[in-house]
């Protein structure tokens, strides 16, 4: 754990390499497991203001052993930041894979996928970088292709996957304008070519079928903003399902092939998104910080509460060490039926509810709460005093992202695609979405499952500390480091380790010595 950019993913890769080296083997399975991380980074990481290679999802890797040899592995992923596909803030980029494709595909391959100059695409905002950067991305694209081959993806699956990603980019360039005759919306003349390319990439023919899906509306007159939301919703869901499919395929290919009677031991590694506080914090930052809040509570429980309870139980002389208990913050966020998430779910269930009614509900429900502050002036926002500090969240989009709905006719559109992969991605029964937990509305449940795993394990904590806020190598900012040591509870941890009892042999071990 640690802040965004503190080195969690790099530490995870080093730890995996170390474990594989300790196995003293060089089997194909072990090599496949090592290839999983660069593959997931390409599709799940992106440049942010805090980190050039920021994980925009959380992952839990389970390694299964028999007689000190790896027999299989399983990957669980949490809360992919799908909104990044359609929108990035200043100084940020989309997921790496889009840039790798532009840099790594040949001219002939780009023509097959309908890809033009990257500066033309709204979803990547023309941020392509320097020639050196492009060369680095070209090398990364080759690494991704090698990883796909090594893990076991078929060639046609890789082609279909890249066609879908190219279609997502083309879809983002489709714009809308009012229909003069009846005030409804239509695809603008200038972007009809993009619509056709997006339809061809998804093998949805004719293009008018995709056109109809974009203009679908429940019972209100169609407007341009509604159609733009439908376009972005399709792009986010398509990307999210490609990512989920990759995880499912990885799990199929890395599953252990042993008799059910064989008892397997397990090491699990959790690499989860770090605490974030940007200039503008949205629903995604709220979910990320909630996860970190729960992990901090787990750390406190294990390091302070269980530790000191053991000393008390054994009647050891001990002066209780106090720590910053974040239970009140979790009560504010998770309590039922009046916690923040419960109120969000309640508001999401009302069709007439808006982000403003949601904020009004929060302001009235949490008036006087020491860990909640209403937004000032006319700003539609609220602040939470987290264990790591105060974060202001803009409320715009909270309800929409929590609902995360996709019209049924759009789903049917892709189910009937003649691209096998796209069809499979949208057929619910043949794809394990419930297990993947990639949608924001299931965030609370996925965190609950994750915490159950943590509490049932024998945990070791790797606390990653960020040396400075400028992403500079070799620079140690004492104040930045000290702030992290304080809010992580590491100063109290050092004290309990220094004054406590770090070596605990069993009675048998002690007697034998």
Tell me if residue 69 is catalytic.
no
- CA angle 285–291–296, rounded 5-degree value: 120
Annotated catalytic residue within 1, 4, 170, 173: 4
Distance separating alpha carbons of residues 115 and 488, to the nearest angstrom: 46
Q: Is 58 annotated as a binding residue?
A: no
Annotated catalytic residue within 1, 37, 45, 55: 55
Distance separating alpha carbons of residues 56 and 41, to the nearest angstrom: 9
- CA angle 140–42–247, rounded 5-degree value: 135
Tell me if residue 55 is catalytic.
yes
Annotated catalytic residue within 51, 201, 292, 394: 51
Tell me if residue 428 is catalytic.
no
Annotated catalytic residue within 276, 284, 293, 492: 276
Question: What DSSP element (H or E) covers 77?
Answer: strand 69-78
> What is the separation, in whole angstroms, between the first and last Cα of the chain?
37
Give DSSP secondary structure letters for 75-108. Answer: EEEE---GGGGT---TT--SBHHHHHHHHHS-HH
Q: Is 6 annotated as a binding residue?
A: yes
The SS3 of residue 411 is helix
Closest to 495 (Cα-Cα) out of 319, 359, 326: 319
Distance separating alpha carbons of residues 278 and 374, to the nearest angstrom: 18
Q: Is 133 annotated as a binding residue?
A: no
Distance separating alpha carbons of residues 82 and 439, to the nearest angstrom: 9
Closest to 234 (Cα-Cα) out of 98, 432, 406: 406
Tell me if residue 276 is catalytic.
yes
Sort 199 into a burial class: Cβ within 10 Å, 0-12 / 13-18 / 19+: buried
Sort 385 into a burial class: Cβ within 10 Å, 0-12 / 13-18 / 19+: middle
Distance separating alpha carbons of residues 235 and 85, to the nearest angstrom: 7
Give DSSP secondary structure letters for 312-355. Answer: HHTT---PPPP----HHHHHHHH-TTTSHHHHHHHHHT-TT--H
Annotated catalytic residue within 9, 12, 402, 419: 9
Annotated catalytic residue within 58, 244, 274, 489: 274
Q: Is 3 annotated as a binding residue?
A: yes
DSSP state of 305: I
Distance separating alpha carbons of residues 497 and 492, to the nearest angstrom: 9
Backbone angles phi, psi at 454, to 5 degrees: -65, -45
Annotated catalytic residue within 1, 5, 30, 41: 5
Residue carrying structure tokens 């890249």: 162
Structure tokens at 90: 């200043």
Tell me if residue 9 is catalytic.
yes
Annotated catalytic residue within 1, 45, 48, 54: 54
Tell me if residue 268 is catalytic.
no
Q: Is 125 annotated as a binding residue?
A: no
Distance separating alpha carbons of residues 375 and 280, to the nearest angstrom: 13
- Cβ–Cβ < 8 Å for 15, 57: no
Q: Is 2 annotated as a binding residue?
A: yes
Closest to 411 (Cα-Cα) out of 396, 400, 422: 422
Give the active site residues. 4-5, 9, 51, 54-55, 274, 276
- Binding positions for ATP are 2-9
- Binding positions are 2-9
């Amino acid at each position: 754990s640690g802040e965004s950019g503190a080195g969690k993913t790099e530490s995870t890769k080093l730890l995996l390499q170390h474990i594989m080296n300790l196995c003293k083997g060089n089997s194909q399975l072990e090599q496949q497991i090592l290839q999983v991380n660069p593959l997931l980074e390409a599709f799940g990481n992106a440049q942010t203001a805090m980190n050039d290679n920021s994980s925009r999802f959380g992952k839990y890797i389970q390694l299964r052993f028999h007689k000190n040899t790896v027999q299989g592995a399983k990957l669980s992923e949490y809360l992919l930041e799908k909104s990044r596909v359609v929108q990035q803030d200043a100084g940020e980029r989309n997921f790496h894979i889009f840039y790798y494709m532009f840099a790594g595909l040949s001219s002939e391959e780009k023509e097959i996928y309908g890809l033009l100059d990257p500066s033309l695409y709204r979803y990547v905002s023309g941020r392509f970088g320097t020639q050196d950067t492009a060369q680095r991305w070209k090398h990364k694209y080759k690494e991704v292709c090698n990883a796909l081959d090594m893990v076991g993806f078929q060639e046609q699956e890789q082609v279909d996957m890249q066609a879908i990603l190219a279609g997502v980019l083309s879809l983002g360039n489709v714009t809308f304008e009012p229909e003069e005759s009846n005030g409804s919306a239509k695809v603008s003349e200038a972007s009809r070519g993009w619509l056709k390319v997006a339809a061809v990439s998804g093998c949805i023919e004719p293009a008018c079928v995709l056109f109809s899906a974009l203009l679908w509306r429940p019972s209100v007159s169609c407007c341009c903003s509604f159609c733009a939301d439908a376009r972005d919703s399709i792009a986010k869901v398509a990307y999210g399902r490609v990512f989920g499919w990759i995880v499912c395929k990885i799990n199929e290919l890395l599953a252990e092939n042993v008799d059910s009677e064989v008892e397997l031991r397990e090491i699990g590694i959790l690499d989860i998104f770090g605490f974030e506080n940007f200039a503008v914090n949205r629903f995604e930052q709220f979910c990320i910080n909630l996860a970190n809040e729960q992990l901090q509570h787990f750390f406190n429980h294990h390091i302070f509460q269980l530790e000191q309870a053991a000393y008390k139980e054994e009647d050891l002389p001990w002066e209780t060490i106090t720590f910053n208990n974040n239970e009140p913050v979790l009560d504010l966020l998770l309590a039922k039926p009046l916690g923040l998430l419960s109120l969000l779910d309640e508001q999401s269930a009302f069709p007439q509810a808006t982000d403003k009614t949601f904020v009004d509900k929060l302001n009235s429900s949490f008036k006087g709460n020491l860990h909640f502050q209403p937004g000032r002036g006319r700003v539609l926002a609220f602040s939470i005093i987290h264990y790591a500090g105060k974060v202001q969240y803009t409320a715009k989009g909270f309800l929409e992202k929590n609902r995360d709905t996709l019209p049924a006719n759009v789903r049917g559109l892709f189910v009937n695609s003649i691209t096998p992969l796209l069809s499979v991605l949208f057929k619910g029964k043949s794809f394990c979405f419930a297990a993947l937990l990639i949608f924001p509305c299931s965030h609370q449940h996925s965190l609950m499952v994750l915490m159950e795993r943590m509490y049932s394990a024998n945990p070791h904590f790797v606390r990653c500390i960020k040396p400075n806020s400028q992403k500079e190598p070799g620079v140690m900012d004492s104040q930045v480091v000290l702030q992290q040591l304080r809010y992580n509870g590491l100063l109290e941890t050092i004290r309990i380790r220094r004054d406590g009892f770090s070596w605990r042999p069993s009675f048998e071990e002690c007697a034998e010595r």
